[in-house]
A and B are shown apart, each in its own frame.
Chain A
Amino acid sequence: MIKLKDIYKIYQTGEDFVHALDGIDLHIDEGEFVSVIGASGSGKSTCMNIIGCLDVPTSGSYFLNGSDVSTLSDDELAMIRNRTLGFIFQQYNLISKLTVLENVELPLIYRGVQPKERVRMSMEALERVGLEGRSNNMPSQLSGGQQQRVSIARALAGKPKVILADEPTGALDSKTGMEVLALIKELHKEGNTIVLITHDNSIALHAQRIVRLSDGKIIEDKPVIDRQVQ
């Protein structure tokens, strides 16, 4: 499903070259639930941007769902994001002027889904996260946990191949955070491929497999079961 091969991402700041990603090889299969963990500056955000097709690597190749996406144009990447990926952000990233339903509909609008079908798919996604009754509310009328569930519904609405969650519990208190995490685990059980980016070990442990990044390199890549056995 996701295949990163020898990925480098190098930024130039003045005279210095910063290797945000320094030769990453990562393979994630369909249906896997993987945590990418690392401290700030470890390159996990860059990694997430590249997996999420928000950025392109300086060198290396990235196969997503069988096709090479490392050389695509901005608009082509936008299409890939739209059809193949679902994003869950730390700050929810809902558009405050739009209702809950309109927010969930957004990716489907860009995909060109007809209005009736769009509403049906969006309502289905909202039902999945238990917020079908709030579809006409504005995001500001919801609690943080509810807003994050809306953003999960938005990620689910287009039935993407991969769901990318970037610190999904980072802005929530621990109780709501656990609820959101439980929901993500359920989504995994339903067959979704999930990549979770976090700095928090306890969060990362909910995944099947942990990939640890440091200084732009993968320093550890182990299934969670193994860890518990050890």
Chain B
Amino acid sequence: MNIKQAFLLAIKSLLSSKMRSFLTMLGIIIGIAAVIILVSLMNGLSKSILDSFEDMGTNLISVEVMGRGSNRSVTFTEMQALMAENPELISGVSPNVSVGVKVKKDTESLTANCIGINEDYYDIKNVKMASGRFINYLDVARRQKVCILGAYEVTKLFGGINPLGEEVKINGDSYTVIGTLTEKADAEEGSADDTVIIPYTLATRLSGNGTISSYYISASSKDTVNQASALVKAKLYQAFQSEDYYMVMSSGEIIEEINEMMGIMGTVLIGIAGISLLVGGIGIMNIMLVSVSERVREIGIRKSLGGRRKDILGQFIIEAATTSIIGGIIGIILGVILSYGAGKLIDLTAVPSVTAIIVAVSVSAAIGIVFGYLPASKAAKMHPIEALREN
């Protein structure tokens, strides 16, 4: 008996009792759909996180200095020296001075997160300007009171009208708006669009303490990130003699960490969904056992006509596998549809993975074969005379 024959027979047998077939498949359908949904949403989540890191630049290395009192520190000049000595590894260094400020335009005012940087920041963070120009070397060196506004500030203070050349008050001082940033996140408060950028030389004054404790560094290329990061770490270790007083993170490391975390989360979630697949498999085994005992006579007839053990075994295993695969396919369709639905609901683009779909089909086929084996071998071992005697 060939496989095609057995497959057609299996389809026939499934169609002859649709309700029972559907209920048998239900466990598999739910299990596979759950796996597909979880994988799609996980993929969507990790893609959206990774995308935002890519936006920041994959060459990025961020340095946070916690310090250990006043005697030891790494100054911006030292960082620049490091870059000058290693131009093949480091292509830019910018201080990152973060201050909460009050920004005012006429009667409108708001509090914003203001960051002080230098001209290198533009390339390091892959800044996208909507209009105007970025802060340049002269602005920094001469402490020019210029600023760049995020989309939220433009909307809130200027009602969306191009503010180039206008003046705003930052903590009471007048600053000229020389550029605006491209909107990234719906121009909402507290989002990536809620930001004011000024020369770091001014920001250190606003922050009230003259030191710089955070830097953005860009490696010369994606491939030298790790080397550059090691170099920076070495420099900091030299200054502090301990790893406890600073933190160096490269985007590569962050991405790796996120991937690892997502991987663990995914495994756990898929494991949970896998339990439902197991239950589905047991359901198939159960129904196949019933089906075998209902068809003892058929088995007897087949045997008397020359059906060997492997023919009967094959027939029932293929029937179980077909049930399971059809359930798997319905599960995939349902899973893909539901994951887009759920993605919409929680504002995430679901990314169904082809690998997950292929794995799901194979797993459902395997479940059918594994759980179909016991009932099938029960059928195959029957004695033809006894089976024929059954009514």
Residues of A in contact with B (beta carbons under 8 Å apart): 49, 52, 54-55, 74-75, 78-79, 81-83, 87, 89, 93-95, 97, 106-107, 109-111, 154
Segment among B130-138, B187-195, B304-312 that sits at the interface with chain A? B304-312
A106 and B302 contact, CB distance less than 8 A? yes
Asked whether B5 lies within 8 Å of A109 as measured between CB atoms, the reply is yes
In whole angstroms, what is the CA distance A211 to B9 when docked?
41
A–B Cβ pairs within 8 angstroms, 19 of them: A52-B304, A55-B385, A75-B308, A75-B310, A78-B307, A78-B308, A79-B306, A81-B306, A83-B306, A87-B305, A89-B388, A93-B297, A94-B301, A95-B301, A107-B305, A107-B306, A109-B2, A110-B305, A110-B307
Of the candidates A54, A74, A79, A110, the one whose C-beta lies within 8 Å of that of B1 is A110
Contact A93 B385 (CB under 8 A): no
Instruction: Chain A residues near B211: list those with CB within 8 A.
Output: none
Say whether B104 faces chain A, with CB atoms less than 8 Å apart: no
Q: How far is the CB of B289 from chain A (nearest CB, A)?
A: 19
Taking CB atoms, residues of chain A closer than 8 Å to B308 are 74-75, 78-79, 110
CB–CB B16/A97 < 8 A: yes
Given contacts A78-B308, A106-B302, A111-B306, could you give 9 more A-B pairs where the C-beta distance is less than 8 Å?
A74-B309, A78-B306, A78-B307, A81-B304, A82-B306, A93-B388, A97-B13, A110-B1, A110-B302
Q: Which chain B residues border A154 with CB–CB below 8 Å? A: 305
Closest residue of chain B to A96 (Cβ to Cβ) is: B298
A52 CA to B300 CA, complexed, in Å: 13
Do B385 and A110 touch across chains, with their CB atoms under 8 A apart? Answer: no
Does B384 reach chain A (CB closer than 8 Å)? Answer: yes
Most buried by B among A49, A82, A83, A109: A109
Shortest distance in angstroms between A13's beta carbon and chain B's nearest beta carbon? 15
- Alpha-carbon gap, A109 to B297, bound state (A): 19
A87 touches B304 (CB 8 A): yes
Query: In the docked arrangement, what's the CA distance between A87 and B144, Å?
Result: 105
What is B's interface to A at a CB cutoff of 8 Å? 1-2, 5, 9, 12-13, 16, 297-298, 300-311, 384-385, 388
- Is there an interface contact between B385 and A109, defined as CB atoms closer than 8 Å? no
Contacts of A78 in B (CB 8 A): 303, 306-309
| A83 contacts across to B, CB distance below 8 A | 306
Q: What 7 A-B pairs have minimum CB-CB distances, sorted nearest first?
A: A82-B306, A110-B306, A75-B308, A107-B305, A78-B308, A93-B301, A81-B306
Whole-angstrom CA separation of A74 from B382 in the bound complex: 10
Do most interface residues of chain A lie in helix, strand or loop, or is the interface mixed?
helix
Q: How far is the CB of A62 from chain B (nearest CB, A)?
A: 16
Chain A residue at smallest Cβ distance from B389: A45
Contact partner, A54, options B9, B297, B298, B304, Cβ 8 Å: B304
B301: A residues at CB distance < 8 A: 93-95, 106
CB distance from A79 to the nearest CB of B (A): 7
Q: Enumerate chain B residues within 8 angstroms of A109, measured Cβ to Cβ.
A: 1-2, 5
Residues of A within 8 A of B16 (CB): 97
A54 to B298, CA, bound (A): 15
What is the bound-complex CA distance between A35 and B5, given in angstroms? 37
A78's nearest neighbour on chain B, judged by CB, is: B308
- The distance in angstroms between the C-alpha atoms of A75 and B13, with both chains bound, is 25
Give Cα A83–Cα B306 distance, bound, in whole angstroms: 8
Q: How far is the CB of A90 from chain B (nearest CB, A)?
A: 10
CB <8 Å contact, A49 and B385: yes
The residue in A52, A74, A78, A111 that gathers the most chain B C-beta atoms within 10 A of its C-beta is A78
A81 touches B309 (CB 8 A): no
Contacts A54-B304, A93-B304, A93-B388; is A110 near B311 (CB within 8 Å)?
Answer: yes
The distance from the CB of A156 to the nearest CB of chain B, in whole angstroms, is 13
Residues of A within 8 A of B309 (CB): 74-75, 78
Q: Kindly list chain B residues whose C-beta atoms are within 8 Å of the C-beta of A54.
A: 304, 384-385, 388
A97 x B12 contact (CB < 8 A): yes
With A and B bound together, what is the CA distance between A106 and B312 in angstroms?
12
CB distance from A95 to the nearest CB of B (A): 5
Complex Cα–Cα for A93 and B13 (A): 18
Q: In whole angstroms, what is the CA distance A106 to B310 when docked?
A: 15
Question: Which residue of A has the minimal Cβ distance to B310?
Answer: A75
Given the complex of chains A and B, what is the CA–CA distance between A180 and B54 in angstroms? Answer: 83
A81 to B311, CA, bound (A): 14
- A74 and B387 CA atoms in complex are apart in Å by 14
Complex Cα gap A154–B5 (Å): 18
Which A residues lie within 8 Å of B306 (CB)?
78-79, 81-83, 107, 110-111
**What residue in chain A is nearest B306 (Cβ atoms)?**
A82
Residues of the A chain whose Cβ atoms lie less than 8 Å from the Cβ of B385: 49, 54-55
Given the complex of chains A and B, what is the CA–CA distance between A83 and B13 in angstroms? 28
CA distance A170 to B188 in the complex (A): 88
Hey, which chain B residues are within 8 Å of A93, CB to CB? 297, 300-301, 304, 388
Could you tell me the distance in whole angstroms from the C-beta of B8 to the nearest C-beta in chain A?
10
Collect the chain A residues with CB atoms within 8 Å of residue B1's CB. Answer: 109-110
Cα-based distance from A110 to B1 in the complex (angstroms): 5
Complex: A81 Cα to B297 Cα, angstroms: 17
Known contacts A95-B298, A97-B13, A97-B16: does B384 contact A106 (CB below 8 Å)? no
Residues of B within 8 A of A87 (CB): 304-305
**In the complex, residue of chain B having the shortest beta-carbon distance to the beta carbon of A48:** B385
Least CB separation from B381: chain A residue: A74
Within the assembled complex, what's the spacing in Å between the Cα atoms of A106 and B9? 12
**Shortest distance from the beta carbon of A148 to any chain B beta carbon, whole Å:** 14
Q: In whole angstroms, how far apart are the Cα atoms of A98 and B309 in the complex? A: 20
Q: Given the complex of chains A and B, what is the CA–CA distance between A207 and B357 in angstroms?
A: 65
Chain B contacts of A94 at CB under 8 A?
Answer: 301
CB neighbours of B388 from chain A (8 A): 54, 89, 93
